[in-house]
Amino acid sequence: MSDDGLVLLQLHEPGETPVPHQDEAGLAVGIDLGTTNSVVAFSFDTEVEVLKDENGKALIPSVVHYKDDGSVVVGREAREAILESPDHVVSSIKRLMGRGLEDVKSLAGTLPYEVEVPPEGGMVRLRVAGRTLTPVAISAHILMAIKDRAEQSMLGKAVTRAVITVPAYFDDAARTATKDAARLADIEVLRLVNEPTAAALAYGLDNSVEGLYAVYDLGGGTFDISILKMEKGVFQVKATGGDAVLGGDDIDHAVAEHFLAQRQAGAAITAGEVKQALMTARVAKECLTGRQSGEWMIELDGIASRHSLTRDELEKLAAPFVDRTIDICRGVVEDAGIDVSDIQGVVLVGGSTRMPLVRKRVAEFFGLEPLSNINPDEVVAVGAALQAEALTRGSDTLLLDVTPLSLGIETMGGIVEKVIPRNTPIPVAMAQEFTTYQDGQTAMAIHVLQVEREMVDQCRSLARFVLRGIPPMAAGAARIRVTFQVDADGLLSVTAREQTTGHEARIEVKPSYGLSDDEITSMLKDSFTHASEDAFRRALREAQVEAQRLVEAVQSALKEDAHLLSMLEHAHVESCLTKLQSVLLGDDRRAIDAAMDALSKGTAEFAARRMNQSVQRALAGKKVEEI
């Protein structure tokens, strides 16, 4: 271990105890896991460094090459392999995170790989190089490469924890999939932070801005717009909106289609041609940021074709997508209950905001020249790194985020009942009561939805479950309370219970597009050997944190109330303490549990006396007052 590494880890907030074995917990980084590119950054004392490769490049293309020899390559090299072996290379996998059959249908034709949906439903799978892979596994490969990059940059120090950003508009299934991917890559997710919120954090801390700000985030595959109130270290999201499948990629596809139509190659367009056209489109789009026109060549299968494109033509192709983002902005401004003129600044995030057309439209809509003094490709990772530091070393900043989508339940007749409206601050718990509609009904089907419209078929199904064991009653007599809970990562859990009889039928659900715990475990065993000790190590760490907490609690109690113990009793508590401290840093979880148990038992009488003493004191206080 290098001296540098040690210094980094010994610093902590004054008065705050470091978590035991923090050096073994590893460093915490911020990761922007993007559709097109990913970025990783590290913050120390709010000085952020974007971690670069040996060529000084910060962007890691989110592209994975599955080679025939079984090896996996991620990044620039993988992107270069797209042309030679298009069917071995996967890009833009973020678009499929947490997606099911329905979503894939709507993306049909825009995905450059073969997609299959398991007959039992659930998450889609990709056929790549003769393998069947889930989007979660592919994302995990990208995350492992990011982790490697970070560890190399940090002088070989282990990087095990991260704040990972997700589009604000990512739903529960996509968030869960992202967390699962991190788990496969052996990265502990400290928090999922919404991309616009992370960008706001980077801007706010850097420029000490105050007031209402809009963050316009157009990435490769996703669009987000958030309106935040920023003041003295508080970042409060007022409203957020977006489209999880709208981004710069769509513009690339439009341009590629334009090129392919010009090319008029053989009857059937090959996968290779599509990929090459897409690459050419991307290059053309980037070139036309600085120029008015250009000419490009597509050469494949012995056919070469020339394609010219002007900026005007590009903008005509891109306009429908940009217009859609502005429409979404309008809705979000309305949701925030403000007027466009109340907004004091607009921050641009995402590589696609480099397009002059985007800047022009955004400036027109908000009536403001947008800010982009932090590199739009890096700003999200910078914010994530700041938050990773805040979560591990403490901070005064506060991120208050909201639910991007309304969540509800299907009731009788296909009507949707909203339980949590969109833009509700998280964490949140809200409940709604339902009743039975038949005499003697003992079970009730509950269908959890992400609400877009008033009708079920226009909403996305998140989970279905059945609450059983309802005592038979007359129709309408049972009171079934369904509680939705969204945590600080934006993840939903649902519980239901029958209220009237005290008989509790309770069930917790996870979204249907996620992978089951069994699937994750078997994936961990199969191909991610490195992460196989993951569950064990995490449980051990949790036990260590818990043991440390108990040690400190007993020590504080002794400092306050040791006089309540006889010398013998005191000595016994001390010996239990010493025993726990001696096993606390080891890796024997059973020994830790046993020592914790012994300490708890050994202090039970002490605790009772402390409680008793406080009652006596309270009574004495009362008496004094009464006199």
Partner 1 sequence: MTASIATAAASVVPCWSCKGPVAARALFCSVCGAVQGPGTIDHFSRLGLQPTFDIDLDLLEKQYFGFQRRLHPDRFAAKSAKERALSQSQATALNEAYETLKDPLKRAAYVLDLKGHKVDLTACGTINDPQLLMEQMEKREAIADADSVETITKLSAEADTEVIACQCHISAAINAGELDEAVHLTIRLKYLAKLAEEARTKKTRMTRALR
180, 217, 252, 534: the catalytic one is: 217
Does 618 contact partner 1 by CB under 8 A?
A: yes
Of residues 391 and 509, the one with the C-beta less far from partner 1: 391
Binding status of residue 190 toward partner 1 by CB under 8 A: yes
User: Does residue 542 touch partner 1 according to CB under 8 A?
Assistant: yes
Q: According to the binding rule CB under 8 A, does residue 549 interact with partner 1?
A: yes
Question: Is residue 370 within 8 Å of residue 261, measured between CB atoms?
Answer: no
Of the residues 568, 615, 624, 627, which one makes contact with partner 1 according to CB under 8 A: 615
- C-alpha dist (Å) from residue 144 to 60, 77, 183: 12, 15, 10
CB 356 within 8 A of CB 251: no
Q: Which long-range contacts (CB under 8 A, 24 or more apart) does 502-510 make?
A: 503/469, 503/471, 505/467, 505/468, 505/469, 505/470, 507/465, 507/466, 507/467, 509/448, 509/463, 509/465, 510/176, 510/463
Give the DSSP H/E element, type plus range, for residue 587.
none
Within 485-504, the residues that bind partner 1 by CB under 8 A are: 485, 487-488
Q: Is 195 a catalytic residue?
A: yes
Q: Is 330 in the site for partner 1 (CB under 8 A)?
A: yes
Q: How far is the CB of 433 from partner 1 (least distance, A)?
A: 10
Residue 619 sits in the site that holds partner 1 (CB under 8 A): yes
Contacting residue, 295, 334, 526, 588, with partner 1 by CB under 8 A: 334
Q: Which residues contact 590 (CB under 8 A, 6 or more apart)?
A: none
Nearest approach in angstroms of CB 28 to partner 1 is 9
| 49 a catalytic residue | no
Whole-angstrom Cα distance, residue 620 to residue 617?
Answer: 5
Is 3 in the active site? Answer: no
Tell me the sheet residues that pair with 230: 211, 235
Residues 236-255 as x/- pattern, contact with partner 1 by CB under 8 A? x-------------------
Footprint on residues 405-434 left by partner 1 (CB under 8 A) = 424-429
Q: How far apart are CA 519 and CA 135, in angstroms?
A: 13
User: Least distance from C-beta 371 to partner 1, angstroms?
Assistant: 24
Calpha distance 407→430 (Å, rounded)? 10
| 392 part of the interface to partner 1, by CB under 8 A | yes
Q: How far is the CB of 611 from partner 1 (least distance, A)?
A: 5
396 binds partner 1 (CB under 8 A): yes
Of 271, 363, 398, 455, the one binding partner 1 by CB under 8 A: 398
Least CB distance from residue 430 to partner 1, whole Å? 8
H helical segments located in 221-375: 248-263, 271-290, 311-335, 356-366
175 binds partner 1 (CB under 8 A): no
d(CA 209, CA 214) in angstroms, rounded, equals 12
User: Stretches 82-90, 460-468, 481-489, 495-503: which one binds partner 1 (CB under 8 A)?
Assistant: 481-489
Q: How far is the CB of 534 from partner 1 (least distance, A)?
A: 17
Pairing state between β 72-74 and 63-66: antiparallel
Tell me, yes or no, if 217 is annotated catalytic.
Answer: yes
| Residues making up the chain, counted from first to last | 627
Given the rule CB under 8 A, which of 97-105, 255-263, 274-282, 617-625 is the region that contacts partner 1? 617-625
Residue 449 vs residues 172, 213, 224, 405, 483: alpha-carbon distances, Å: 10, 31, 21, 10, 13
The rounded distance, in Å, linking the Cα atoms of 573 and 182 is 41
DSSP symbol at 479: -
Chain residues binding partner 1 by CB under 8 A are 19, 190-191, 234, 236, 330, 334, 387, 390-392, 394, 396, 398-400, 424-429, 485, 487-488, 542, 545-546, 549-550, 552-554, 556-557, 559-561, 603-604, 606-607, 610-611, 613-615, 618-619, 622
The residues that are catalytic are 32, 94, 195, 217
